[in-house]
Amino acid sequence: MIFSVIRKDKNTNARKGKLVLAHGEVDTPCFMPVGTQGAVKTITPEELKSLGAQIILSNTYHLGLRPGIEIIEKAGGLHAFMHWDGPILTDSGGYQVFSLADLRNISKEGVTFRDHIEGTLHTLTPEKSIRIQQALGADIIMAFDECPPYPSEYDYTCKSLDLTLQWALQSRESHTDGPQILFGIVQGSIFPDLRRKSVEELEGIGFAGYGIGGLSVGEPKSLMFEIAEYTAGLLPSEKPRYLMGTGTPDDLITQIAFGVDMFDCTVPTRYGRNGTVFTPYGKMVVRNARYRDDHRPIDEECGCYACRHYTRAYIRHLFNTGEILGNRLGTLHNLHFYLKLMKGARQAIAEGEYEKFKKEFLNNYSGSEFQ
């Protein structure tokens, strides 16, 4: 991997960079659409490229269960299996195990859990997580970690962090030479001293980049911003910084100013499939009754496929009659919106005007429904 910071904003910590990976280049800051099971829901790889997606995220836990690593290896790896020739990042499976709190048992060796499909017993260790990710052939793979819930007591978080740091070392030792690069994951919940300890020890182990984990798990947004900014400021400037699992458009625009380079979240695709779309002025629940006779596009200033060809009234009709085309159009629009927003952020940083860009966006954008 080669990562270079091309330009820093003059008034914030925002930075424009470039990642050179085995399957292509990625301009940062970037948003990674989530293809949990080897597919971004309702969207083809060709459509993703046409929207401007440069890198996507897939999930170790889900792909390890179905279809199984052996099948993907026989297909030639995940890129060939899913017909995507651009870069892929795979998560370690740690967050999915976190979400199975009622079905798991954590020990120093790893996590034993019952899967969400058939209730079959599995064990996931740092070594196994790395082995699966390398078999998938992802460009960026993640160290195995434990994501503590919010709220967590300080003593529990200390023990959780010690475990995560031990697993980070085991992940690093299990990582063999090859095209995949390995990121460590910073944990420590909302405690600044534990976040600092995490960064310092991960740097000592040595990783190609760093994920900021353990946020967007129920804490207030103001606290998420505070810890994200603090943690990003601790990370080495020459390495890429990846804020995991967050978030809404205003989240991303705020956190780019902290010096974060990479984001992923299911928000644009999940909301799009459920009839909520994003605009520069806020979100729109297009399936609501007020749009029944509204023959304007979702966003009159948007150039996406959905806005060029279809009206709010028609898209509402699709959702309310259960037509799959509605899910596709909502997802297409939202991903176009997110990826265009990242492109605008990169341009603003290149011009040294990110603070102005951020203020204008946040002044216009409202988390409540836009009409």
Tens digit of pLDDT for each residue in 40-95? 999 999 999 999 999 999 999 889 999 999 999 999 999 999 999 999 999 998 77
Q: Is the pLDDT of residue 260 over 90?
A: yes
Question: What is the rounded average pLDDT of the residues 262-288?
Answer: 97
Cα–Cα distance between 131 and 342 in angstroms, integer? 32
Question: What is the rounded average pLDDT of the residues 14-39?
Answer: 97
Smallest CA-to-CA distance from 62 within 139, 131, 138, 117 is with 117
pLDDT of residue 253: 98
Q: In the 8-state DSSP scheme, what is residue 369?
A: B
Q: Is the pLDDT of residue 104 over 90?
A: no
pLDDT of residue 314: 98
264 is catalytic: yes
pLDDT of residue 94: 79
Cα–Cα distance between 83 and 40 in angstroms, integer? 12
pLDDT of residue 148: 92
Question: What is the rounded average pLDDT of the residues 153-163?
Answer: 97
**Strands, sheet with 24-28, edge to edge from the N-terminal-most edge strand:** 2-8, 15-21, 24-28
pLDDT interval class at 197 (50, 70, 90):
very high
162 is catalytic: no
Provide the CB-side half-sphere exposure for 352 (13 A, CA). 1
Candidates 3.50.30.30, 3.20.20.105, 3.20.20.80, 3.40.50.720; CATH matching 2-265: 3.20.20.105
**Which of residues 96 and 185 earns the better pLDDT score?**
185
Q: Is the pLDDT of residue 233 over 80?
A: yes
Q: Is the pLDDT of residue 371 over 70?
A: no
Q: Which pairs with CB-CB distance under 8 Å and at least 24 residues apart come from 341-344?
A: 341/31, 341/249, 341/252, 341/253, 342/29, 342/30, 342/31, 342/252, 343/52
pLDDT interval class at 273 (50, 70, 90):
very high
pLDDT of residue 367: 74
Tens digit of pLDDT for each residue in 142-155? 999 999 999 999 99
Catalytically annotated residue among 9, 91, 139, 145:
91
pLDDT interval class at 114 (50, 70, 90):
confident
Domain ranges of the chain: 2-265, 275-364
Q: Is the pLDDT of residue 227 over 80?
A: yes
Q: Is the pLDDT of residue 362 over 80?
A: yes
Cα–Cα distance between 281 and 361 in angstroms, integer? 8
Q: Is the pLDDT of residue 343 over 90?
A: yes
Q: What is the pTM of this model?
A: 0.96
pLDDT interval class at 301 (50, 70, 90):
very high
Do residues 152 and 161 touch, judged by C-beta distance below 8 A? Answer: no
Q: Is the pLDDT of residue 366 over 90?
A: no
Cα–Cα distance between 315 and 308 in angstroms, integer? 12
Catalytically annotated residue among 139, 251, 264, 299:
264
Mean of the per-residue pLDDT values for the chain?
95
Q: Is the pLDDT of residue 111 over 90?
A: no
pLDDT of residue 119: 86
